[in-house]
Amino acid sequence: MGVGIKLDPNYLSPEASPAEISQWQDRVDYVHSVLVDGTGPGAAFLGWLYPDALMPAELLSGIEATAVRLREKADVMVVIGIGGSYLGARAVIEALAGSDAGRVVFAGQTLAPDYIASLLKSLKGKRWCINVVSKSGTTTEPAVAFRLLRAALEEQVGVEAAKDLIVATTDPDAGKSALRRVATTKGYELFDVPPNVGGRFSVLSAVGILPIAFAGVDVRALVKGAANCCAACETSAVKSNPAYYWVAARNLLYRQGKSIELLATWDPRLLYFAEWWKQLVGESEGKDHMSLFPASVQYTTDLHSMGQWVQDGRRSLLETFISIEDASPSVRIPDDPDNADGLNFLTGTEIGEVNRKAFEGTALAHRDGGVPNMTISIPKLDAYHLGALIYFFERGTAVSGYLLGVNPFDQPGVEAYKTNMFALLKKPGSEAKSAEVLRRVEEGRKLAPIGFE
Ligand code: PA5
């Protein structure tokens, strides 16, 4: 089965014409070989590069069996995780699980008290289970949520029964992961986050595959799509590898002064795919005060909010459209004898066709307005093609990071807020830092707030 992903470059010109893109070929060839040979920065985190090896048949069967076991015992799964430990699963589930998407809910991605209180309330009386996902096993947000949810589950079903309803996904090394130590002591089932895979590249490992399987999505097709896209990426020729064309175009436009890449989708099912993409790109490339800012919009909804800015605001944008060619199910616009809204010229037309014309009209209007744009299309929103698209962007992001000259696989900047938060919370060991951070926070309050009584 082919991969089916296509990139339409027509509206990238004149800024990023095919001739200009082809001038990037040598650089793309070089970073492609650096990636494949494992000789670049962060090479210890390339476990995602070959999806078949990341998710061997035996592991996939084991995860499917656990998903079946949990589905027999629970109607709802609470996935506890943050960043790469939940966004990929949420992206796939919201795109593909249909009415079963509600069977998986999320926690540990926020510290907002109302969210967790409402979630705990909503779980009362339900049959539910937990998949706690944290590679480090010490991230504050999921660790706090796990304490609360584990206590609630144990209170509801008893400590013994709760054991069978909790699965932990974490680093295999108990020396590194406190979560593994807890799970082992308590007797929970465990899956590994491969040590050579970072969170934002982990959706096709047990991190994403267990919750996705619980939601009833065809995880085999998901992995197959990714594996086939990987095989297709064997070529580094930008003319025949759309992932690398995307990379060359966005890097060329970045060097011409574009500072924002807007990922624009045309289907609300892709809302969390865009959230996943923003983390993937933002955390991989946002280093050394460089890189495009990854943003997203969902059209046509946002044409009525952000559309004005995109059309006429500061010309700092490039836009990447995601298009799904298949416009099913068929929903036809009915006739209205009064025709008060003047829409009878659309009688019998499929809404999907109207959506497509809105897309074609928007791409042209934005091009005319000075926003170079490209369209990445898949034939159908199904597990196979979504798996391929996930891999497309993982591969593209890794290559793009190398082109930019950064390590796409680390995230040193994420530590800054944690250091301050722990100091303010007086975590043991951070006493010295606490005094300094407290002093600076106080100093930062020199000016009185401006407000209404
Ligand atoms: O991509 C990443 O590495 C991060 O977003 C992590 O996934 C996130 O910080 C959660 O980390 P952990 O899985 O260790 O709890």
pLDDT of residue 434: 86
Residue 385 known to be catalytic: no
CA 139 – ligand 1 centroid, Å: 8
Lookup: tokens for 58: 């035996």
pLDDT of residue 306: 97
Cβ 397 vs Cβ 411: under 8 Å:
no
Pocket test for ligand 1, best of 82, 173, 284 (most atoms within 8 A of CB): 82
Tokens 């896209």, located at residue = 229
**SS3 (DSSP) at 116:** helix
Is 69's pLDDT higher than 90? yes
- Decide the pairing of beta strands 373-378 and 6-8: antiparallel
Is 248's pLDDT higher than 90? yes
Distances (CA, A) of 451 to 442, 443, 444, 448: 19, 20, 17, 9
| pLDDT bracket for residue 88 (50, 70, 90) | very high
Instruction: Give the predicted TM-score (pTM) of the model.
Output: 0.96
362-367 mean pLDDT: 98
Neighbours of 248 (CB within 10 A): 26
Is 57's pLDDT higher than 90? yes
Q: What is the per-residue DSSP string for 260-308?
A: EEEEEESSGGGHHHHHHHHHHHHHHH--TT-SPEEEEEETTGGGGTTHH
Rounded Cα gap, residues 120 and 136, in angstroms: 25
Rounded Cα gap, residues 253 and 13, in angstroms: 11
Lookup: tokens for 325: 């060619």
CA 150 – ligand 1 centroid, Å: 21
| pLDDT bracket for residue 348 (50, 70, 90) | very high
Is 9's pLDDT higher than 90? yes
CA 220 – ligand 1 centroid, Å: 25
- Which residues, other chains included, contact 112 with Cβ-Cβ below 8 Å and sequence gap of 6+? none
106-145 pLDDT, tens digit each: 999 999 999 999 999 999 999 999 999 999 998 999 999 9
| pLDDT bracket for residue 391 (50, 70, 90) | very high
Neighbours of 380 (CB within 10 A): 13
Ligand 1 atom with minimal separation from the 201 CA? 1
Is 383's pLDDT higher than 90? yes
Give the residues surrounding ligand 1 with Cβ less than 6 Å away. 82-85, 134-136, 139, 142, 198-200, 283, 411
Cβ 36 vs Cβ 277: under 8 Å:
no
CA angle 419/139/409 to nearest 5° reads: 85
Residue 418 known to be catalytic: yes
CA 131 – ligand 1 centroid, Å: 15
The H or E element spanning position 183 is helix 178-186
Q: What is the per-residue DSSP string for 224-254?
A: HHHHHHHHHTT---TTT-HHHHHHHHHHHHH
Half-sphere exposure (CA, 13 Å, Cβ side) for 426?
A: 1
**Amino acid in position 112:** A
